[in-house]
Amino acid sequence: MEISGPTSNAHTEVAHIGKSVVIRGELSGSEDLYVDGEVEGSIELREHHLTIGPNGKVRANLNAREVVVHGELNGNVHGTDRVELKKSALLTGDILTQRIVIEDGAVFKGSIETQQQPAKVEPKRETVASIAAAAFSGKSADSLPVHAGAGRAVESDAQHAALVEQKK
């Protein structure tokens, strides 16, 4: 196995499996991988890029952030971000990914399931009115109901009367 140095500062190192190399078993790593030889088993590169070169023959289930296929692949592909089948690709297996590119001329037999990008959780925002209402009532802002139209805390008539009495 060869390690190629970066061609520019923007790229990371890429492990290279040459066309005369044959690997059987589980392959995992924490760097990008270029396969131009034969691999049989499984390939785990969860946060990295996998490229199967034009001479590559892979019989494995794949899990990588991005997968680009120029050669032959028999197995299921989970590309968490993107899967791309180049015009010279031959893929037999199922694909699970967020984004898919299939060039004209690529051969694909299987199913494709696209998944949405995981939703990002935004921090809860409280309005000045809800914080002020909570301060006067002695309750937290989360315990007061929020009026959908105005985006502020709303009190019941009894809560409002109690607040007026407290202010006197």
* Res. 13 pLDDT band, cuts 50 70 90: confident
| Collapsed DSSP state (helix, strand, coil) of residue 142 | helix
Q: Give Rg (Cα) of the chain.
A: 27
Instruction: List C-alpha distances in Å: 136 to 15, 63, 97, 112, 153.
Output: 63, 54, 51, 56, 12
**How many of the other CB atoms lie within 10 Å of CB of 115?**
11
Whether residues 67 and 93 share a domain: the answer is yes
- DSSP run (H or E) holding 129: helix 128-137
Q: Is residue 38 part of a domain?
A: yes
* Res. 5 pLDDT band, cuts 50 70 90: very low
Whether residues 105 and 128 share a domain: the answer is no
Q: Is residue 167 part of a domain?
A: no
Q: How far apart are the first and last CA of the chain?
A: 81
In the chain, the number of structural domains is: 2
pTM value > 0.75: no
Whether residues 96 and 151 share a domain: the answer is no
Q: Is residue 166 part of a domain?
A: no
Whether residues 70 and 130 share a domain: the answer is no
Interior CA angle at 20 toward 29 and 102, to 5°?
65
Domain containing residue 144: 123-156
Give CA–CA dist 13/134, Å, rounded.
55
Whether residues 110 and 128 share a domain: the answer is no
Whether residues 66 and 137 share a domain: the answer is no
Give CA–CA dist 4/18, Å, rounded.
12
Average pLDDT of span 55-69 = 97
